[in-house]
């Protein structure tokens, strides 16, 4: 069956040294020492090692062929967002990454689609870059779950979402700059606990602030199956009901009314949870998305879904139809 993986990350093989260029900041740069590998450095601090499949389009195509998945939707690695930088510098970095992704799509048009990145900390520049991406043919963007710890429901982001709706561009919300990270460094807790909470934080903010209500045509997709949002939706709805004075202050519509209005990826690593999110979000809203090529990703590209004995029609929805609807409307 035809498959599209809508949640994968890709970097250019070479990055300019943005810290030198701009004269400040812990921008990511790459050190290539061993063939086939590179160290991502955040300032002078080692961040993570990446392999060739993080930047080489053909290596990725070959790895995906094993799992009969010809198409990848690529976006940058969230650590590249750099929302903390000066806005004009973040725009410069974003344009570099976006132009690179556009080149990959152009060179391998049968295998790649791309989501751009935006300088979210500056409303006008973010809109300007979204308009440029739209003109370049990008179907959507990837944004962080918060912007310098500001929630996505804050008024300064609304014009960006309005522009994305007007441009008919899809939005992938990806957890990053996880809340509480400084207090839970051990045991990889920012990734295991912080990321699912971050995604729920973004979803709750977009719902309770009324962004999703006011922009019904804007197509949001949330990474990692929506994190902890769907598994804790009963609690969130109960909180909405029992303390409307705290929760329903900006939007009177209950949170579960938005089920079926947003997309999520399939990266649950758990058949039972995937069945649950299919029931909650809707069979027409769950997209094959793996977080390739990182170790926490579903690196067998949806093989566990193929073993779940789901109806063929559901598999077709998850493996490509839902993604095409999310991207193109
Ligand atoms: Zn990811």
Distance from residue 174's CA to the centre of ligand 1 (Å): 6
CATH of domain 4-8+53-328: 3.20.20.140
Distance from residue 171's CA to the centre of ligand 1 (Å): 13
- Nearest-10 Cα torsion for 237, 238, 241, 244: -80
Distance from residue 296's CA to the centre of ligand 1 (Å): 9
pLDDT of 90 higher than 90: yes
Distance CA 112, CA 9 (A): 11
Distance from residue 223's CA to the centre of ligand 1 (Å): 7
Average pLDDT over residues 41-70: 96
Distance CA 64, CA 8 (A): 11
Q: What is the pTM of this model?
A: 0.98
CB-CB contact of 284 with 322 (8 Å): yes
Distance from residue 245's CA to the centre of ligand 1 (Å): 35
Convert the pLDDT of each residue in 136-189 to its tens digit. Answer: 999 999 999 999 999 999 999 999 999 999 999 999 999 999 999 999 999 999
pLDDT of 78 higher than 90: yes
301: left (phi over 0), alpha (psi -120 to 50) or beta: left
- Which pLDDT does position 46 carry in this prediction? 95
- Which pLDDT does position 53 carry in this prediction? 98
Distance from residue 308's CA to the centre of ligand 1 (Å): 23
- Which pLDDT does position 1 carry in this prediction? 86
Please list all protein residues whose beta carbon sits less than 5 angstroms from ligand 1, which is an ion: 291
- Which pLDDT does position 279 carry in this prediction? 98
Distance from residue 288's CA to the centre of ligand 1 (Å): 13
Distance from residue 71's CA to the centre of ligand 1 (Å): 16
In percent, how much of the chain has pLDDT > 70? 100
Of the pLDDT bands very low, low, confident and very high (cuts 50, 70, 90), residue 206 is: very high
In percent, how much of the chain has pLDDT > 90? 99
Distance from residue 122's CA to the centre of ligand 1 (Å): 23
- Which pLDDT does position 202 carry in this prediction? 98
Distance from residue 318's CA to the centre of ligand 1 (Å): 18
Distance CA 113, CA 140 (A): 10
Convert the pLDDT of each residue in 225-284 to its tens digit. Answer: 999 999 999 999 999 999 999 999 999 999 999 999 999 999 999 999 999 999 999 999
Distance from residue 297's CA to the centre of ligand 1 (Å): 8
- Averaged confidence pLDDT in the chain: 97
pLDDT of 219 higher than 90: yes
């Amino acid at each position: 069956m035809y498959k599209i993986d809508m949640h994968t990350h890709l970097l250019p093989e070479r990055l300019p040294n943005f810290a030198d260029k701009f004269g400040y900041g812990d921008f990511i740069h790459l050190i290539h020492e061993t063939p086939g590998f590179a160290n991502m450095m955040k300032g002078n601090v080692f961040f993570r090692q990446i392999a060739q499949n993080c930047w080489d389009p053909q290596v990725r195509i070959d790895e995906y062929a094993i799992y009969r998945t010809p198409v990848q939707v690529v976006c940058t690695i969230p650590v590249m967002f750099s929302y903390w930088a000066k806005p004009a510098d973040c725009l410069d970095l974003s344009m570099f990454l976006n132009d690179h992704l556009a080149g990959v799509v152009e060179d391998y048009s049968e295998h790649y689609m791309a989501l751009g990145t935006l300088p979210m900390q500056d409303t006008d520049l973010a809109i300007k870059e979204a308009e440029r991406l739209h003109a370049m043919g990008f179907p959507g963007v990837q944004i962080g779950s918060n912007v310098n710890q500001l929630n996505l429901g804050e008024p300064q982001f609304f014009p960006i979402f309005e522009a994305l709706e007007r441009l008919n561009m899809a939005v992938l919300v990806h957890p990053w700059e996880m809340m509480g990270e400084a207090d839970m460094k051990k045991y990889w807790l920012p990734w295991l606990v912080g990321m699912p909470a971050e995604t729920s934080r973004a979803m709750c903010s977009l719902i309770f602030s009324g962004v999703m209500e006011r922009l019904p045509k804007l197509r949001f997709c949330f990474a990692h199956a929506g994190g902890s949002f769907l598994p804790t939706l009963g609690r969130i709805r109960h909180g909405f009901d029992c303390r409307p004075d705290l929760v329903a202050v900006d939007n009177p519509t209950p949170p579960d009314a938005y089920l079926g209005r947003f997309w999520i990826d399939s990266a649950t690593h758990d058949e039972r949870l995937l069945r649950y999110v299919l029931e909650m979000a809707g069979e027409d809203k769950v997209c094959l998305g793996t977080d390739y090529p990182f170790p926490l990703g579903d690196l067998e590209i949806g093989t566990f879904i193929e073993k779940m004995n789901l109806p063929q029609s559901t598999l077709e929805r998850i493996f490509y139809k839902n993604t095409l609807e999310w991207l193109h409307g």
